[in-house]
Each structure stands twice: as C-alpha cells, then as structure tokens.
Amino acid sequence: MTEHNHEANDGTRHDTERGAFIVLEGIEGVGKTTQMAVAEQALKDAAKSLVCTREPGGTAAGEALRSVLLDKDGAPLSLEAETLLMFAARANHLHEKIRPALNRGDWVLCDRFTDASYAYQGAGRQLGVARIAVLEKWVQAELRPDLVIILDAEPELALTRAKNRGPVDRFEQESLDFFHRARQVYLDRAKAHPERYAVIDASMPLEAVSQAVAATVAGFVHQWDQS
Ligand code: Z5A
C-alpha cells in the first residue's frame, strides 16, 4: 500500500472532506467475517464514525436480493441475471447507504464490493472482466474503495474452513477451479493497483491474520489523516 489520492475516488463533491471507503475481500472461508470485527475495532479505536455493511445486501432491497442470489435451493439464475442483480443491489446500496455516509464524513467498512463481481462473475463464472468494468463505470461512476484488504489463501484451505463452519450457499457449491480463477483475479487486481490494495496471507493462524488486518487498517488511517 502506498500513497492514496482522495480526488481520484469521487469527483462529485468535496473529496477531501468525505470519509474513507474500506472493503474486505477474498474467496469463501478466508476469514472475512472474522476479520470484519477486527477491522471494525481498529477503526473504532481510531475514533472513526463508522458504517459497517455488506454485499450483496446492506439495504432492505439489497438484503432481499441477497436471499435470491445466495439461496442454493432457489430458482436458477442466468449468469447475466446474477450479475445484474449484484449490481442492482450495489446501486441501491450506494444510493441509500454508502454515498450518504461518505458524504457526511463517516467511514464505510464493507464486507465485499465490486472486486467480488470481478472475481466471481467475471472470472469464476467466466463472464469476462470487460462486462464487469462497464457495469462498474455505470453504477459507481468514479467511486472506488480507498482500501481493499484481500485475505488470500489457497482455495483448498479456505473451502475446508468454510465447509467445517456450516451449510453451503449457491456459490460455495462451485468447483475448485472456479475459486482458483476468482483468487487469481483478486491477486491480479491487487498487483495492478497497489496503492489501493493490501494482500494479507490468510493461511496464517487466526491471531497473526488479525494482527496483520489491525496493522493494515491502522496504517491506512494514519496515512489518510496525514494527507
Ligand atoms: N458475491 C458475488 O458472487 N458477486 C458479488 O459481486 C458479491 C458477492 C458482492 C456472499 O457471501 C457471496 O456472494 C459470496 C460471493 C458472492 N460467495 N459465497 N459464498 P458472503 O461474503 O456473505 O460469505 P462468504 O464469502 O461465503 O464468506 P464466508 O463463507 O462467511 O467466509 P469468510 O467470512 O471468509 O470466513 P469466516 O466465516 O470468517 O471463517 C470461516 C471459518 O474459518 C470459521 O470457522 C473461522 O473460525 C475459521 N477461520 C477464519 N480464519 C481462520 C484462520 N486464520 N485460521 C483458522 N481458522 C480460521
């Protein structure tokens, strides 16, 4: 992670006054749910006024769409329908929750965002990243997360953890190849934009991953507050 530029993220208003937008990403079972709590605590320790949310979801309509998208026993969805529903939920999330929070100066911590669409629909389901980029531009305009923390682990390890935890959803039924493709896109995106991404080795013991997440968040807060 290096220097960030507030102005690159949202050309709509006083960017330097808005809060920061932080996202946690990674394939199933890498520990996002566990590490959301660690990141939340680190931001609270830094006295940031915070909105914690998730995708798909985050609003009443978004949570209804989440049920449709994740229900493994639900009606089949075409790839195009699945992708558009992810972005429909995101459009509502941005309009109702994320942009208002950022614009009033709150920080937003989100469990998944558009990198998941690149990874799961773009690569996992092989829609291609170009189609995701079109939707990203349409739905988000210039807004991008200021920091994306990718929890990275081999799919073999992460899926074993996820399966030991409980029942699977529609995505967790996918093949190992699917998750290898998704993981690769996360890593490619981090490599292409090192100023906005931090990759943490999620195969480490829980305490070590938590320390790395807390340190990454604290470092980002320091950098943001200095700029
Ligand atoms: N999706 C999409 O396709 N396109 C999109 O645009 C968006 C989403 C936004 C949402 O699920 C699904 O939607 C997701 C992608 C898709 N696919 N699925 N499934 P989600 O994000 O709500 O849930 P998830 O990805 O399935 O997360 P998860 O299964 O809850 O996993 P996790 O949050 O990464 O892991 P965890 O629950 O924190 O940990 C799993 C277990 O491992 C648990 O027992 C922990 O105690 C344990 N654990 C965690 N860390 C460690 C370490 N370091 N060592 C040992 N054990 C550990």
Work out the pLDDT band at 167, boundaries 50, 70, 90. confident
The ligand 1 atom at the shortest distance from the C-alpha of residue 34 is: 38
Asked if the structure places residue 5 within a domain, the reply is no
| Helical ranges in 2-109 per DSSP H | 32-45, 60-70, 79-93, 99-103
Asked if the structure places residue 15 within a domain, the reply is no
Asked if the structure places residue 4 within a domain, the reply is no
Q: Cα dist. 153→163, 183, 209 in Å? A: 15, 8, 11
Check residue 169 and give its pLDDT: 79
Per the CB < 8 A criterion, the answer to whether 183 and 83 are in contact is: no
Asked if the structure places residue 13 within a domain, the reply is no
CA of 170 to the centre of ligand 1 (A): 13
Place of tokens 């210039």: 142
Count structural domains, the chain: 1
Asked if the structure places residue 79 within a domain, the reply is yes
List pLDDT tens digits, range 128-153: 999 999 999 999 999 999 999 999 99
CATH of the domain at 214: 3.40.50.300
CA of 151 to the centre of ligand 1 (A): 10
For residue 186 and ligand 1, the question of a CB distance below 6 A is answered with no
Domain span at 149: 21-226
CA of 94 to the centre of ligand 1 (A): 22
| Cross-strand partners of 147 | 22
How much is the pTM? 0.93
Asked if the structure places residue 7 within a domain, the reply is no
